[in-house]
C-alpha cells in the first residue's frame, strides 16, 4: 500500500505533485507500450485507461510505430 | 526575440528540446535548458562544472530531487523504460519563465545579445520549483553560483 502522507512544508507537497505527474506520464508511456507489445488492442488499452481510443492512439501510436511495435488494428 | 540570441544560446534552446524528448518528457522545462548549457560549448558550462553541475552531475541532482519529492508523500519508483515520444516537446511554463528572466538579465547587463550565461541565470533565479530543489539536493549554493556567473 502506498502511504500518502502530507509533508510538513507545502514546498515539498507541491514538488511531490510535479514529480507524481511526471511519474504518471512515464508510467503511462511504459505500460501502454508493454500492453501493445503483448498484443492488446487500442480499444482495450483505452478502456483500461478510461480515455477514448482516439486519445490513446493520437498520443502513443507514432512512437510505437517508430519503435517497430506490431500494432493490432482493433 | 530569438534573433538576439548568441549562437550558443540559440543552440542551447534547440538542444533543450532534444534533451527533453530523449528523457521522455512531454514538455521542455527549465531544467532542460540548464542541462543543454551544461553540455554545450559556451564557457558558462565550465562554471557549472566547477560547481559539480556538469551534465551527469545535473542529471544525478535531478534524479535525487525526484526521489526526494516522491518520498515526501511516501512514494518510491523505479526508472521507467519506454520509447520516447516522437513529437517535438513544447516549452512549458518553467522554461518560458526562465527565458523571460534570461531576457531581463541581458537587459540588466545592458547586453544587446542574450547569451548562454543569461539563460543559466534565468533558470537559477527561480526560487521555487525543480531547478532550485535539484541544486539543493546537489549541495550547491544557488546564490554563490549566481555570483560566480556574474563575476
Residue B114 binned pLDDT confidence (cut-offs 50, 70, 90): very high
The beta strands (E) that lie in B31-149 are given as 90-91
Helical residues (DSSP H) of chain A, grouped into ranges = 10-37, 42-49, 53-66
B82 is a domain residue: no
Residue A2 has pLDDT above 60, yes or no: no
Q: Is position B39 within any domain?
A: yes
Is residue B128 in a domain? yes
Q: What is the pLDDT of residues B125-135, one digit of tens each?
A: 999 999 999 99
Phi first, then psi, for residue B28 (nearest 5°) are -90, 120
Check CB contact of B127 with chain A, cutoff 8 Å.
no
Span B63-86, pLDDT tens digits: 999 999 999 999 999 888 999 999
Give percent of chain B with pLDDT exceeding 90.
92
> Quick one: pLDDT band at residue A73, thresholds 50, 70, 90?
low
Q: How far is B61 from chain A (nearest CA, A)?
A: 14
Q: A16 and B81 in contact by Cβ < 8 A?
A: no
CATH value at residue B109: 1.10.1780.10
Q: B74 by DSSP, 3-state: which?
A: coil
For B27, the enclosing helix (H) or strand (E) is: strand B27-28
A74, A36 in Cβ contact below 8 A? no
ipTM computed for the complex: 0.90
Identify whether B123 is part of a domain.
yes
A27, B65: Cβ pair inside 8 Å? no
Partner residue facing A12 (CB), from B26, B69, B80: B69
CB pairs under 8 A between A and B: 76
Predicted confidence at residue A71, as pLDDT, reads: 85
B26-68 pLDDT per residue, tens: 999 999 999 999 999 999 999 999 999 999 999 999 999 999 9
C-alpha grid cell, residue B65: 530531487
Express each pLDDT in A7-66 by its tens digit.
889 999 999 999 999 999 999 999 999 999 999 999 999 999 999 999 999 999 999 999
Q: How many domains does chain B have?
A: 1
Q: Does a structural domain hold residue B34?
A: yes
Q: Note whether B86 contacts A62, CB cutoff 8 Å.
A: yes
Work out the percent of chain B whose per-residue pLDDT is above 70: 98
Q: State the DSSP code for B28.
A: E
Q: Least CA distance to A62: which residue of chain B?
A: B86
Domain membership of residue B146 as a residue range: 2-74+87-150
Q: For residue B86, give the nearest of A20, A25, A66 by CB distance.
A: A66
Amino acid at each position: 500500500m502506498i502511504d500518502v502522507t502530507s509533508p510538513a512544508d507545502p514546498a515539498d507537497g507541491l514538488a511531490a505533485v510535479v514529480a507524481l505527474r511526471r511519474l504518471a506520464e512515464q508510467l503511462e508511456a511504459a505500460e501502454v507500450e508493454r500492453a501493445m507489445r503483448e498484443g492488446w488492442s487500442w480499444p482495450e488499452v483505452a478502456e483500461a485507461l478510461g480515455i477514448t481510443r482516439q486519445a490513446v492512439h493520437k498520443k502513443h501510436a507514432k512512437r510505437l510505430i517508430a519503435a517497430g511495435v506490431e500494432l493490432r488494428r482493433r | 526575440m530569438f534573433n538576439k540570441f548568441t549562437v550558443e544560446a540559440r543552440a542551447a534552446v534547440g538542444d533543450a528540446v532534444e534533451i527533453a524528448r530523449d528523457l521522455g518528457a512531454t514538455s521542455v522545462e527549465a531544467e532542460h535548458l540548464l542541462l543543454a548549457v551544461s553540455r554545450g560549448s559556451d564557457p558558462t558550462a565550465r562554471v557549472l562544472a566547477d560547481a559539480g553541475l556538469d551534465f551527469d552531475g545535473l542529471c544525478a541532482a535531478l534524479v535525487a530531487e525526484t526521489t526526494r519529492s516522491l518520498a515526501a508523500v511516501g512514494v518510491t519508483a523505479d526508472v521507467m523504460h519506454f520509447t520516447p515520444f516522437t513529437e517535438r516537446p513544447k516549452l512549458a511554463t518553467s522554461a518560458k519563465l526562465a527565458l523571460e528572466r534570461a531576457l531581463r538579465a541581458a537587459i540588466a547587463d545592458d547586453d544587446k545579445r542574450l547569451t548562454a550565461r543569461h539563460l543559466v541565470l534565468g533558470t537559477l533565479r527561480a526560487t521555487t520549483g525543480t531547478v532550485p530543489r535539484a541544486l539543493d539536493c546537489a549541495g550547491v549554493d544557488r546564490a554563490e553560483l549566481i555570483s560566480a556567473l556574474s563575476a
